[in-house]
Structure 1
Amino acid sequence: MMRDDLASLVDDLRRHDGPWEEPAARARVFLEEHGPGPTDWPTWETGAELYAALTPERVSTLDRETTLLLLSGLAREEEHRTGAWVAMFESGRGTWLFERWLELSR
């Protein structure tokens, strides 16, 4: 069930064209319902550096734990920096990370 819902979400993210507020909100709810609870990186710099260097190729090498740590870390960042979660989708990184989560759920 969770995998089917994740596949539907990823499909919607891939096809999305327009403002990201609604699909980003849907993705956030999905993460809150199915992802890990709020977690901390051993150091925030590690997560920030990894996020800044993300490309589709690099995302394809992430393991499940790292993928979910990035997503939950960015969801937590939204609490301190409004717009961070939507900006992740506007940059393409949000879709890449949810696609990777789906790949790793097989």
Structure 2
Amino acid sequence: MTQGRTDIVLTLVAPAALEEPLVDLLLAMPELAGGFTSSPADGHGTRVPLVGADENVRGRGKRVRIEIALASAALSTLLDAIRQAMPAAPIHFWTMPILDFGSLQ
């Protein structure tokens, strides 16, 4: 894998209340997160804190899921920038390899 090649996808999952600040942070770092996709998600399980009556009734927590395709060489820099900007934020992440990447245009 070459340094600039898009070879992994980083998935971030955070409480829905953090969507705007997290998206704003990523938009401010186009050299690390040049483009990404965000979508609503539901968190399930005993380690998912439920906030408010709505989530307690539903039994699941509202989350945002953000996926960023990037070069693995940029991963630690991006994660460090998020940690520094949002040090107490309960943001979970994982990465997966990308086998192929491109545009159909």
Q: Which TM-score band (shorter chain)?
A: under 0.3
TM-score using structure 2 length: 0.27
Which protein shows a greater Rg? 2
* Higher helix fraction (1 or 2): 1
* Higher strand fraction (1 or 2): 2
TM-score using structure 1 length: 0.27
Higher relative contact order (CA 8 A, sep 6+): 2
